[in-house]
Structure 1
Amino acid sequence: MIVTKDLTHKWFTLFAEKVIQEKEQLSEYDRIIGDGDHGMNMARGAQQLITLWQAVPPVHLSDVFKQAAMKWISGVGGASGPLYGTAFLEMAKAVGAKEELSNDELVTAVKAGFEGIKKRGKSDIGQKTMLDLWAPAVQDLEKDELTMATLQTALTKTNELKATKGRASFLGDRSINEVDPGAASSKLFFEALIEAGEFGGN
């Protein structure tokens, strides 16, 4: 798969639309194990990004990542704004001046996003965070095996974890079998990639 600016623009637009559509459910997940505002916060950044692009579409491939980063950092509150914003910014840096990406270069960019989240959140896999969705998604993308089914499997496995990071960690064992909102919104991010690239499967 060759990833162009137009495909990436479609990817992030689909992600923003999915976040807006699922904002109530994302906030409900967050109400159970967090402070209940994940969906509303994410939807705010998503709407700002859509509005920006309706007025001025991105020109270069890196612009998609940079502009998404700015909207998430400036428009989304809580932990998710800085975490997603950092991920998108690191992805922009990895892309650099390239105007299209091979699958390997896409994987490199997504890995850079993963590392950005890890560093900014001072977290690691196994703590029931968005990283537990990103890590298997990156692996599946690398093997060209990323599908809607593998994403659901990754989310289900994340649900089974006990939260040891963030507000959810205060729940202890009660966080087991609950949905981490960051992992749920990350699933939407990778679903949007599959739909934009018209690859993978169910």
Structure 2
Amino acid sequence: MTALDLSRLITAAADTIADHAEELTALDQAIGDGDHGLNMKRGFEAVRAEADLFAAKPLPDALKAIGTKLVMTVGGASGPLFGTLFMTLGKEIPAGPDRASLTVAFGKAIEAVAARGKSQVGQKTMLDVLQPVHDALAEGKTAAEIADIADVAAKATVPMKALRGRASFLGDRSIGHMDAGARSTALLVRTVGQAIGEDA
């Protein structure tokens, strides 16, 4: 991935979050604090503002820097979680990753997010999208297929009962709503897939 590619990817991710900020806020208003969309938009706008600076770095360093920026600017529970995802990816990924090394690094990043959030798959969180995406990556699925899998996984959080985060306070009332973090994760997965290309 060239610096120009990474800069364009950062811009695309920020655009995606901005375009869906109201949707993410509405999802979070139903079972959370109601600030997920606004917080994510603020964080990714901050990353966009330094896109060229990040893109000039080697990929591992760029990912770690992006993660740090998200921790500092997103706020709430999402900042540390999304920040941990990117920072761990940066720590684990080689400068010129292939699918195998990306899969391994992504798996480590998911483990770090689970540890940070003290959560696991099935508890109505972003992990419910991240793990199926990792599995699809390991199975050799195309970028388009992985994006579709992420969308299906986000929708699958609707009937779940939240067991972590603020939504867990609602108990059974959390059932029937999509998790905002799962939705934003799926949106970012599709954006990355489209940027990388159908054959990735």
1:90–1:112: 8 Å Cα contact kept in structure 2? Answer: yes
2:89–2:105: 8 Å Cα contact kept in structure 1? Answer: yes
Task: Could you tell me which runs of 5 or more consecutive residues in structure 1 were left unpaired when the two chains were aligned.
Answer: none
**Structure ranking higher on relative contact order (CA contacts 8 Å, 6+ apart):** 1
Q: CA deviation at 1:9?
A: 4.5
What does 1:3-18 align with in structure 2 at a 5 Å threshold?
7-18=5-16
What does 1:61-100 align with in structure 2 at a 5 Å threshold?
61-95=59-93, 98-100=94-96
* Distance in 2 separating the partners of 1:56 and 1:105: 21
What does 1:105-120 align with in structure 2 at a 5 Å threshold?
105-120=101-116
* Distance in 2 separating the partners of 1:157 and 1:42: 22
2:14–2:45: 8 Å Cα contact kept in structure 1? Answer: yes
Matched, 1:177 2:183: no
Q: Secondary structure at the match of 2:109?
A: helix
* Distance in 1 separating the partners of 2:45 and 2:18: 7
Aligned residue among 43, 50, 53 for 2:51: 53
Matched, 1:147 2:143: no
Mean Cα displacement is larger for which, 47-56 or 183-192?
A: 47-56
Runs of 4+ off more than 6 Å: none
* Distance in 2 separating the partners of 1:119 and 1:5: 31
TM, length-normalised to structure 1: 0.90
Q: Report Cα offsets for 1:63-103 as digits up to 9, x if no partner.
A: 321121111111111000001111111111102xx321101
* Distance in 1 separating the partners of 2:160 and 2:62: 33
Mean Cα displacement is larger for which, 77-86 or 108-117?
A: 108-117
Task: Could you tell me which runs of 5 or more consecutive residues in structure 2 were left unpaired when the two chains were aligned.
Answer: none
TM, length-normalised to structure 2: 0.91
Matched, 1:138 2:134: yes
Equivalent residue, structure 2, for 1:41: 39
Matched, 1:199 2:198: yes
Q: Report Cα offsets for 1:85-128 as digits up to 9, x if no partner.
A: 11111111102xx3211011111121122111101001111100
Equivalent residue, structure 1, for 2:185: 186
* Distance in 2 separating the partners of 1:56 and 1:180: 30
1:41–1:76: 8 Å Cα contact kept in structure 2? Answer: yes
Aligned length: 197
Matched, 1:158 2:157: yes
Equivalent residue, structure 2, for 1:121: 117
Equivalent residue, structure 1, for 2:18: 20
